[in-house]
Amino acid sequence: MEPELRDANQGKATETLSSLPQASFNYINSIVGSGVIGIPYALHRAGFGLGLFLLVIVAVITDYSLILMVRCGHLSGRFSYPGVMEAAYGKGGYYLLSLLQFMYPFLAMISYNVVVGDTLSKVLVRFVPSWGSSMGMVRFGVVLVVTIFVIIPLCLYKNVSRLAKASFLSLACVVLILMAVVYRLLSGDYDVVPNTPESWRFAHSDLIPAVGIMAFAFMCHHNTFLVYQSMQNATMERWEKVTHISVGFAWLVAALFGIAGYCTFRALSQGDLLENYCWDDDLMNFARVLFSISILLTFPIECFVSREIVRTQIKRFYSQEVIEYDTDKDPSHVTGEEDDRKSMITTLVIVFSAFIISPYTECLGPVLELNGLLAAIPLAYVLPGLAYIQLSPHSLFSQEKLPAAGLVLFGTIVTISGAAILMPNLIGDCRTGIIMGYCKDDELALNGTSFIASTMDPNCATDKV
The whole-number pLDDT of residue 164 equals: 59
Confirm if 33 and 168 have CB atoms less than 8 A apart.
no
- For residue 4, tell me if it sits in a domain: no
The whole-number pLDDT of residue 202 equals: 93
Name the pLDDT band for 317 (thresholds 50, 70, 90): confident
The rounded mean pLDDT for the chain is 83
Angle, in degrees to the nearest 10, between helices 167-187 and 282-318 = 150
Query: 417-449 as b/e, with b when 16 or more CB fall inside 10 Å?
Result: ebbebbeeeeeeebbbbbbbbbbebeebeebeb
pLDDT top residue among 167 and 327: 167
For residue 443, pLDDT beyond 70: no
Range with the poorest average pLDDT among 64-73, 74-83, 334-343, 416-425: 334-343
3-class secondary-structure state, position 451 = strand
- For residue 191, tell me if it sits in a domain: yes
- For residue 454, tell me if it sits in a domain: no
CATH, residue 75 = 1.20.1740.10
The whole-number pLDDT of residue 160 equals: 57
User: Rounded mean pLDDT of 172-183?
Assistant: 94
3-class secondary-structure state, position 189 = coil
* 127 exposure class (CB count in 10 Å sphere: 0-12, 13-18, 19+): exposed
259-277 pLDDT per residue, tens: 999 999 999 998 889 989 9
330-386 pLDDT per residue, tens: 544 554 445 678 888 999 999 999 999 988 777 788 888 889 999 999 999 999 999
Name the pLDDT band for 6 (thresholds 50, 70, 90): very low
Looking at the chain, the whole-number percentage of residues with pLDDT higher than 90 is 48
pLDDT top residue among 114 and 388: 388
Helix, strand, coil content of the chain in percent (nearest 5): 75, 0, 25
Rounded distance, CA 398 to CA 392, Å?
Answer: 10
The whole-number pLDDT of residue 8 equals: 43
The whole-number pLDDT of residue 432 equals: 58
The whole-number pLDDT of residue 168 equals: 78
Counting the structural domains of the chain, the total is: 1
Name the pLDDT band for 258 (thresholds 50, 70, 90): very high
For residue 39, pLDDT beyond 90: yes
Residue 369's nearest CA partner among 307, 430, 316 is 430
Looking at the chain, the whole-number percentage of residues with pLDDT higher than 70 is 82
The whole-number pLDDT of residue 171 equals: 85
pLDDT top residue among 52 and 196: 52
- For residue 58, tell me if it sits in a domain: yes
Rounded distance, CA 459 to CA 448, Å?
Answer: 25
* Cβ count within 10 A of residue 295: 27
User: Rounded mean pLDDT of 282-291?
Assistant: 95
What are the Cα distances from residue 243, in Å, to 69, 132, 252?
Answer: 11, 46, 14
321-330 pLDDT per residue, tens: 444 444 445 5
- For residue 119, tell me if it sits in a domain: yes
The whole-number pLDDT of residue 161 equals: 55
- For residue 11, tell me if it sits in a domain: no
- For residue 330, tell me if it sits in a domain: no
Contacts of 230 (CB under 8 A, 6+ apart): 17, 18, 23, 26
**Full residue range of the structural domain in which residue 42 is found:** 20-322+337-445
The whole-number pLDDT of residue 441 equals: 52
Name the pLDDT band for 461 (thresholds 50, 70, 90): very low
For residue 2, pLDDT beyond 80: no
75-108 pLDDT per residue, tens: 999 988 989 999 999 989 999 999 999 999 998 9
116-149 pLDDT per residue, tens: 998 999 899 888 888 877 888 998 999 999 999 9
- For residue 462, tell me if it sits in a domain: no
For residue 455, pLDDT beyond 60: no
For residue 314, pLDDT beyond 50: yes
